[in-house]
């Protein structure tokens, strides 16, 4: 039975008939992870041991096996072994460079993230320092305001005392002595306030 032409649906994009129409593409990340795995494996002692055992087995087979079974002659200097090792080295170098490039990219991203984090921390620290300075200034203003109120109260109190003394008919000497005591007290309070501000 022949299939009828399918009528395209309006909610599907043109040119695609679903998942089967997609061409598989190799993942670049998968390739990169593979190169890193190979570069990591080549840098282990097990790889060197395996490569050494491979070379020993190759040379042993081609020197001690019967002539009919040998595939690389010692007379030619083990040419096939040299070609195999050269091929392995020629692929190993670019794979290691690819792995290093991926690591450099990761390091660059990490450095950028660290720089942004440091900038945020610096901005937060500067903000907190400004807030602490503002709080300190407010506290200083409040303490000066309290001192001003206290000194104003003391001045009013002494003024009332002077008025009461004059109304009671005290002598000028008693009033002068009280004035002198008040000035001494004010000097002591001012010295104490300056010491607190330091």
Q: How far apart are CA 94 and CA 10, in angstroms?
A: 48
Q: Per residue in 52-72, pLDDT tens?
A: 999 999 999 988 888 888 888
Neighbours of 99 (CB within 10 A): 21
Say if residue 16's pLDDT is above 60. Answer: no
Say if residue 115's pLDDT is above 90. Answer: yes
Say if residue 167's pLDDT is above 70. Answer: yes
The pLDDT of 89-117, averaged and rounded, is 91
DSSP conformation letters of 50-100: HHHHHHHHHHHHHHHS-TTT-SS-TTTTSHHHHHHHHHHHHHHHHHHHHHH
Q: Give the pLDDT of residue 33.
A: 85
When mean pLDDT is compared across 18-27, 85-94, 130-139, the lowest value belongs to 18-27
Q: How far apart are CA 58 and CA 70, in angstroms?
A: 10
- The beta strands (E) that lie in 65-185 are given as none
Percent of the residues in the chain that have a pLDDT greater than 90, as a whole number:
22
The pLDDT of 14-43, averaged and rounded, is 70
Say if residue 136's pLDDT is above 70. Answer: yes
Q: Give the pLDDT of residue 118.
A: 94
Q: Give the pLDDT of residue 120.
A: 93
Q: Give the pLDDT of residue 4.
A: 56
């Amino acid at each position: 039975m022949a299939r009828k032409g399918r009528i395209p649906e309006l909610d599907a994009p043109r040119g695609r008939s679903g998942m089967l129409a997609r061409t598989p593409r190799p993942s670049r990340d998968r390739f990169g992870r593979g190169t890193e795995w190979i570069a990591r494996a080549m840098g282990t002692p097990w790889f060197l041991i395996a490569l050494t055992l491979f070379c020993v087995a190759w040379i042993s087979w081609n020197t001690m096996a019967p002539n009919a079974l040998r595939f690389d002659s010692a007379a030619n200097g083990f040419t096939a072994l040299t070609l195999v090792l050269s091929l392995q080295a020629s692929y190993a170098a670019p794979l290691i460079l690819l792995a290093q490039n991926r690591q450099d990219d990761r390091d660059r991203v990490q450095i950028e993230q660290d720089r942004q984090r440091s900038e945020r921390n610096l901005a937060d620290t500067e903000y907190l320092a400004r807030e602490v300075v503002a709080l300190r200034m407010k506290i200083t203003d409040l303490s000066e305001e309290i001192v001003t109120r206290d000194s104003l109260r003391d001045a009013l109190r002494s003024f009332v005392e002077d008025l009461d003394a004059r109304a009671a008919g005290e002598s000028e000497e008693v009033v002068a002595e009280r004035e002198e005591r008040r000035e001494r007290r004010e000097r002591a309070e001012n010295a104490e306030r300056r010491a607190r501000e330091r």
